[in-house]
Structure 1
Amino acid sequence: MSTRLDIPDDSSGVGPRLREIRKSQGLSLRAVADRSGLSVGFLSQVERGLSSIALSSLHSVADALGVSLAALFEARPQEPQVEDDGAVVFTITRAVDRPRRTVSSGRHYELLSARASGLVLEPMLVYIEPGGTREAAKPHAGEEFAYVLSGELMYEVAGEAHRLGPGDSLYLRSTAPHTFYNDGEVTTIVVSVVTPRHF
């Protein structure tokens, strides 16, 4: 029997925020489409909340608009950063301040830590719904770590697929083309830590 989790998200805010930034820059949908390599029709559907957008495509849109990926989401509350001679020592993020958001069809990303300048890791919980939906394998700078809490995860690295179960982990240099997906029947939950930050 297929099990899907009822996971709240704030993906509905991505489209309107994208439209707001685009219009504030005086850009047409065609201009953003040309810069991002995505179609005008698809971007229009995303802005209206009719289509979800893959994380890799959202990166392309952010680049086309000249903003960070984080700028496409609402600001998150966080406790004050603790500083020592101007350097960030640590941040604290309370459970009630940790929003969940959907940025890709069938994937829910929950950020586990507040942002702080000078800190480069981005820890997340990733909920991957069943169905085998996957993004194209792509390389990028940085490193990536995944630890499966529940369910099963297919992780493809340099064309080779690896099945991970609860307690299994994978750590890689992200310069190797990679992607992950859930071809099982239950929602998979993964602790993911990446550099550089996605959001």
Structure 2
Amino acid sequence: MEIGNKIKELRIGKGLTQEELADRAELSKGFISQIERDLTSPSIATLVDILQCLGTDLKDFFNDTADEQVVFHDADYFEKTDPELLNKIEWIIPNAQKNIMEPIRLTLKPGGSTYPDNPHEGEEFGYVLQGSITIHIGNKKYKAKKGESFYYIPSSKHYITASPKTGAIILWVSSPPSF
């Protein structure tokens, strides 16, 4: 592994010159320069000292795991359309079933519905982005419109229907994942 460039990036990121890093690590500027150009390799003890001066350690320095994706775009989404129920489900966080929460964007055409879901563990939250809906939980019905949210524990059969006039778009989060 070529560690020189990685050390150089850390040093520059900390706003240090080669000379300043060398002074802190009690090494020569020339030795730091040789390390950064991969002309020489430091001993483990020297590398530990350099990394300590750069605010990191061996474990983090050699950790090659990629950063987890934080921002997701339309191209990352997976969607499923149900022409019978007049809905489209978009999984807006790929592979969210491995997470604690699973958010989806649900688009219901006028009169559209979700499939009735049986009771299950967890909690469900939604925010109506557009239109209006009726949330059916057991024998009860709750209405919500644009700008309103809902939250419930799915201990009864439950589903959502959209207004026959407007349809709806909902941001819906289930924990644990169940969509």
TM-score by length of 1: 0.49
Which of residues 119, 136, 140 is equivalent to 1:160?
Answer: 140
Aligned length: 115
**Does residue 1:139 correspond to 2:119, yes or no?**
yes
**Does residue 1:170 correspond to 2:150, yes or no?**
yes
Shift in alpha-carbon separation, 1:167–1:110, aligned structure 2, 3 A? same
Distance 1:173 1:106 in 2: 25
Deviation at 1:116, TM superposition (A): 5.6
Distance 1:124 1:188 in 2: 14
CA deviation string 1:112-165 (max 9, x = no partner): 112267522111110011125464463111111111011110001231111110
Unaligned runs of 5+ in 2: 1-62
CA deviation string 1:144-193 (max 9, x = no partner): 11110111100012311111101111111122332111132122000000
Shift in alpha-carbon separation, 1:159–1:196, aligned structure 2, 3 A? same
1:101 aligns to what? 80
Shift in alpha-carbon separation, 1:93–1:134, aligned structure 2, 3 A? closer
Distance 1:139 1:107 in 2: 21
**Residues 92 and 114, structure 1, Cα contact 8 Å, conserved in 2:** no
Distance 2:146 2:174 in 1: 19
Please state whether the residue corresponding to 1:92 is helix, strand or coil.
Answer: coil
Shift in alpha-carbon separation, 1:159–1:120, aligned structure 2, 3 A? same
Shift in alpha-carbon separation, 1:132–1:172, aligned structure 2, 3 A? same
Identity across matched positions, percent: 24
Distance 1:132 1:115 in 2: 26
Please state whether the residue corresponding to 1:96 is helix, strand or coil.
Answer: helix
Unaligned runs of 5+ in 1: 1-83
Distance 1:133 1:116 in 2: 23
Deviation at 1:108, TM superposition (A): 0.4
Aligned counterparts, 1:48-63, within 5 A: none
Amino acid at match of 1:151: G
Please state whether the residue corresponding to 1:152 is helix, strand or coil.
Answer: strand
2:160 aligns to what? 180
Displacement over 3 Å in runs of 4+: 88-92, 132-137
1:192 aligns to what? 172
TM-score by length of 2: 0.54
**Residues 91 and 113, structure 1, Cα contact 8 Å, conserved in 2:** no
Please state whether the residue corresponding to 2:160 is helix, strand or coil.
Answer: strand
Please state whether the residue corresponding to 2:75 is helix, strand or coil.
Answer: helix
Amino acid at match of 1:128: L
Aligned counterparts, 1:1-199, within 5 A: 91-103=70-82, 105-115=85-95, 119-131=99-111, 133=113, 135-136=115-116, 138-198=118-178
